Amino acid sequence: MFVLVCVADFQPELFVLSGGLMACFLVPLAEGIVVSALDKIVFCSKKSADGVISESKKNIAVLKNMLYGGSFLLAIEHIYHGEVSLIPPFLTAVKTPEEIPVMLKEMATVGVGMAALVTAVWGIGCAVKHFVKKTKSRGALCA
């Protein structure tokens, strides 16, 4: 539960959710690592003169930047709110065994939802970009 306080009475520890169980940023980070590995595997061996591979590589780079950038900003926010510490164990939820299932549930719901939303927004952006390019090329041929 969020606790609202006046700016003059600001105390960061009041904003911690459920005793600091937030680890949702790890899911988009893991997806970014998987996408990076697939990028290396798929595009490492393919060298092509046409723009198809370079365009796909640019699109994948945008997805990686979105995933890594969002994970980094969430990690900074979680560190600020005391939900992640800079000394082991890094996640405050793994200090007691009772909090681990709650953390995993939060990762499975919020983390997966965030990663899916980022990937969906990226996919919609790629589709719009392709549609605009296709429309422009068709318009240039008709003019």
CB 37 within 8 A of CB 115: no
Which pTM was predicted? 0.77
Q: What is the pLDDT of residues 90-136, one digit of tens each?
A: 888 788 888 889 889 999 999 999 999 999 999 999 999 999 999 98
Give the angle subtended at the CA of 35 by the CAs of 22 and 41, to the nearest 5°: 150
The 3 state secondary structure assigned to 72-122 is HHHHHHHHHCCCECCCCCCEHHHHCHHHHHHHHHHHHHHHHHHHHHHHHHH
Closest CA to 39 of 53, 26, 25, 50: 53
Look up residue 99 and give its two tokens: 């909090």
Q: What is the pLDDT of residues 22-69, one digit of tens each?
A: 789 999 999 999 999 999 988 876 665 555 678 888 999 999 999 999
